[in-house]
Structure 1
Amino acid sequence: MAKKLTRFILFALVLGIIAGWAINSAIDDGTPTAAAQLKDIAGYFSIVTALFLRLIKMIIAPLVFSTLVVGIAHMGDVATLGRVGLRSLGWFIFASLISLSLGLVLVNLLQPGVGIGLPLPDVTAASGLDKAAFNLKDFISHLVPASVIDAMAKNEILPIVIFSLFFGVAITALGERARPLVRGIEALVQVMLQVTDYVMRVAPFAVFAAVASAIVEQGPSVLFSLGRFVGSFYFGLALLWGILIGIAFLAQGRRARDLLRYIRDPIVLAFSTASSEAAYPRTLEALERFGVPPRIASFVLPLGYSFNLDGSMMYMTFASIFIAQAYGIDLSIGQEITMLLVLMITSKGMAGVPRASLVVIAATLSMFRIPEAGLLLILAVDHFLDMGRSATNVVGNAVAAVLVAGWEGELDPERPIDVEPPHAPSHMPPLAPGTEPGA
């Protein structure tokens, strides 16, 4: 099923490019009427993508809650949970520094914004992004949900993760007395993964619609006008993939070479839909086939979606310096390092913010007196860049789960890619006996 789905998605991706290009070429004559017509057609295509992404959002909250709680319950004790958590966060910080630093180094070496040759937006123009959607104070206070029902209704991953951590630790403390509840949540995991299987069957249609919509409205020429910027960024993503897989290879040996083959399906899905969320359920299943214990994968992945968006973080330094270069603004090494540290902190508040990377960039530019209007330069190609960012986020979080499992000494033998993993957590270790309070 996995191989077939990947082939269907790739076919839909190519078909979407062809269809979008054909429609754009047939209608676009440079007039405002044609542009409005293309926008309307793109809107109809985007209905399919929007429905698919809503289906994904429908399953994310219960899936994250159930898999994370079951994973914590089967950790055995709070000490193991703390160790896995610290190792995960330690890697996330290290990977964040790698991603941000690589973006900073490459944009200075390649200088895609110097002599860009495009008309620059007026420095007083607004980007149209709501910078109030992100600020550090609200992010910190929002970590703890006032209502987990409200957090689930809004698909706010980080508050759901915090509640699930409390819930899972409480289950671990109660031991056998919580066993009936654990069985019920284990059953919920099975149900949600079965629902995921149904949802994924419409993924190729969503991929076709997403790509066709973008090409219909923007046309292929938009990629050529900012080709140096797009090409430089994708070159950086390729280097980042190499670094992440290289680190996994150093830690796990030749086995790490197979990781990309196992996560091929979620990578293609994330790339073609430009959504990391869409790939979450498939990434969970792929890691289980690769040998990452479900209790570790279901713990590391939700945290990774909040703290370890490697592709998005690299984009933030890359795009920020690109805009400065386009306006001829020279930043000192000290200013660039300061920007890196600021983005290191603010990037952790991206989860749940619409167009998160652009919002964080907009909030950061003003700190360094770089015109926010520069974002208008890259908005046209942001969808195509988001495709690469989303795929890289999948790779980064998969590597994180593999490394943590390896450090715990619990990486299981690989299973064939086409063999469905045993979704029922029955193969997990039982709840540790004698973990009742005071035992």
Structure 2
Amino acid sequence: MTGPALTVDAGVPAAVVGLPWYRRLGTQVLIALVLGIVVGLAFPRFAAQLKLLGDMFLSLIKAGIAPLVFLTIVHGIASAGDVRSAGRVGWRAILYFELVSTLALVLGLVAGNLLGIGEGMAREVSGTAAPLAKGMAPRGLPEFIAHIVPDNFVGAFAKGELLQVVVLAVMAGIGILAIPEERRQRISAGLDSVCEVLFAFINLVMKLAPIGTFGAVAYSVGSNGPAVLIALAQLVLGFYAVVLLFIALVLGAITRLAGLSLWRLLRYIKDELLIVLGTASSESALPWLLIKLERLGCAKQTVGLVLPTGYAFNLDGTSLFMAMGVVFLSNAYGVPLGVEQQIGILLVMLLTSKGAATVSGGAFVAFTATVTATGMLPTEGLAVIFGVYRFLSMAIATCNTIGNSVAVVVVARWAGTFDARVAQRHLYPERHPRTAAADAALADGNLLPEDMKDTNPHPPGIDLHPQARPR
């Protein structure tokens, strides 16, 4: 090699490389998070009125999520060329989801019992939980399966039923595969154009992420106050510790087996994680993860199938929260749960945790359904957890996002649709300054999906040795 070791390659705009730190979206979100905490503590009554800012941001995100998920899955299946290719990725993804989700539930139950969370807690609770649990009838397996099949194509989108949208997308994608190839190519080109419009919409909405983060965090701190955090410190701190343990040990071991570094992957998606942490919504990062994981070397088909499906079936943070929440209520209200009863509740949670809404509050709704379905735990105790749920939801959403990002990489590696050389370029930016500059441009909303071609020279679908290094 000749010349300086770290120089910016030709073709990378100087304005992108020298972008001031305060103009970077991730930095703005982090600043908004800190300001939200300060305002919430200093002006709690005013901060309680800022909920509108967070709600408006999440509503805009939700407006584009259902069609984006539908088009991504349809395009992923259609680009496979045949049902067999899509099925090879699909069954591996479902198997991975079930194994890791079950492991998260077991870890949550074990950790809750070992930590003894909720023991000695006073039983004076408000009645705010009653309306949440009201009308949520237990769902057995037949009801669950029946619910995921929509009876109205448009209604699934209007109601935000992500599982139903996934079912419609899979059926539509398989239907496209039956169309002659020449017409299928025109359909794929049309899907690309519509996806570009949606990505542009999401790109504009994400510019508002710092405002949404500020309002959501300020409202949370201003409404709950430090007294609630002190009263439930054991639950909050215990849950954060278990989430970190799950990410470091379980997900760390999984990525290591896949030949990658979890720390490097987290650095690569750090901006998306900051947005998720601030908004407490894993959906807020979905549009960008669809782009960044494909840039990382995962085939478009794999990303399009695994990531949106994982948002319905692979909610690791939700599983941890539900398992620890059950133990918390058991200890706080003196309702002993034996091993057999906890195993029974675990089986119920395997169903109720699927399809939980990925916006802020979705995990709590699924948890409420679980407590109601068991018939063994007091539903009024949900108010105790609801008081600090906002703080828990930040860890839930972050864990869900990391878990699904790892799932895409692992399934792509397993299915042979992962390019390790491309991954090395993005995970080790210090060795590839041009790729690093392009990633920075994407983080600031300056690139659209078609720009990925310049930094993804090796076509996805080539299964390379994990230790392979780019030339």
Give the distance between the partners of 1:294 and 1:287, measured in 2 at CA. Answer: 9
Partner of 1:389: 396
Identity of aligned residues (%): 38
Worse overlay, 1-10 or 376-385: 1-10
Q: What amino acid sits opposite 1:240 in the alignment?
A: F
Worse overlay, 313-322 or 359-368: 359-368
Partner of 1:336: 342
Give the distance between the partners of 1:114 and 1:230, measured in 2 at CA. Answer: 14
Give the conservation status (yes or no) of the 8 Å contact 2:126–2:383. Answer: no
Q: What amino acid sits opposite 2:42 in the alignment?
A: A
Give the distance between the partners of 1:44 and 1:163, measured in 2 at CA. Answer: 39
Which of 208, 220, 242 is the aligned partner of 2:214?
208
Which of 243, 250, 257 is the aligned partner of 1:237?
243
Q: Deviations over 1:223-276 (max 9, x none)?
A: 111101100010010011113432333322244431111121221111111111
Which of 112, 115, 120 is the aligned partner of 1:115?
120
Give the distance between the partners of 2:100 and 2:129, measured in 1 at CA. Answer: 35
Give the conservation status (yes or no) of the 8 Å contact 2:297–2:460. Answer: no
Q: Deviations over 1:328-349 (max 9, x none)?
A: 2221111111111121122224
Give the conservation status (yes or no) of the 8 Å contact 1:126–1:372. Answer: yes
Partner of 1:140: 145
Deviation of 1:84 (Å): 0.6
Q: Does 1:378 align with 2:382?
A: no
Compute the TM-score of the two structures, normalised by the length of structure 1: 0.88
Q: Does 1:15 align with 2:35?
A: yes
Unaligned runs of 5+ in 2: 1-15, 427-435, 462-471
Deviation of 1:155 (Å): 1.9
Partner of 1:160: 165
Give the conservation status (yes or no) of the 8 Å contact 1:312–1:357. Answer: yes
Unaligned runs of 5+ in 1: 25-37, 431-439
Deviation of 1:293 (Å): 2.0
Give the conservation status (yes or no) of the 8 Å contact 2:51–2:219. Answer: yes
Matched position secondary structure for 2:337: coil
Give the distance between the partners of 1:154 and 1:124, measured in 2 at CA. Answer: 25
Provide the alpha-carbon RMSD of the alignment: 2.5
Give the conservation status (yes or no) of the 8 Å contact 2:138–2:370. Answer: no
Q: Does 1:423 align with 2:452?
A: no
Task: Say if 1:408 and 1:363 are closer, same or farther in 2 by CA, change over 3 A.
Answer: closer
Which of 364, 369, 374 is the aligned partner of 2:370?
364
Give the distance between the partners of 1:388 and 1:177, measured in 2 at CA. Answer: 45
Give the distance between the partners of 1:152 and 1:126, measured in 2 at CA. Answer: 29
Q: Deviations over 1:281-312 (max 9, x none)?
A: 12222212322222211111111111111101
Give the conservation status (yes or no) of the 8 Å contact 2:76–2:302. Answer: yes
Partner of 1:313: 319
Give the distance between the partners of 1:80 and 1:324, measured in 2 at CA. Answer: 46
Deviation of 1:183 (Å): 0.5
Give the conservation status (yes or no) of the 8 Å contact 2:357–2:363. Answer: no
Q: What amino acid sits opposite 1:418 in the alignment?
A: A
Matches within 5 A, 1:35-434: 38=45, 41-116=46-121, 118-121=122-125, 126=130, 128-132=132-136, 135-136=139-140, 137-174=142-179, 175-351=181-357, 355-366=361-372, 367-412=374-419, 413-414=422-423, 415=426, 416=436, 417-420=439-442, 423-424=449-450
Give the distance between the partners of 1:125 and 1:281, measured in 2 at CA. Answer: 33
Q: Deviations over 1:63-117 (max 9, x none)?
A: 111111111111121111111110000000001111101100100000011123x
Give the distance between the partners of 2:50 and 2:157, measured in 1 at CA. Answer: 28
Deviation of 1:14 (Å): 0.3
Matched position secondary structure for 2:66: helix
Compute the TM-score of the two structures, normalised by the length of structure 2: 0.82
Deviation of 1:124 (Å): 12
Task: Say if 1:207 and 1:429 are closer, same or farther in 2 by CA, change over 3 A.
Answer: closer
Q: Does 1:5 align with 2:25?
A: yes
Give the conservation status (yes or no) of the 8 Å contact 2:39–2:47. Answer: no
Give the distance between the partners of 2:360 and 2:39, measured in 1 at CA. Answer: 28
Q: What amino acid sits opposite 2:449 in the alignment?
A: H
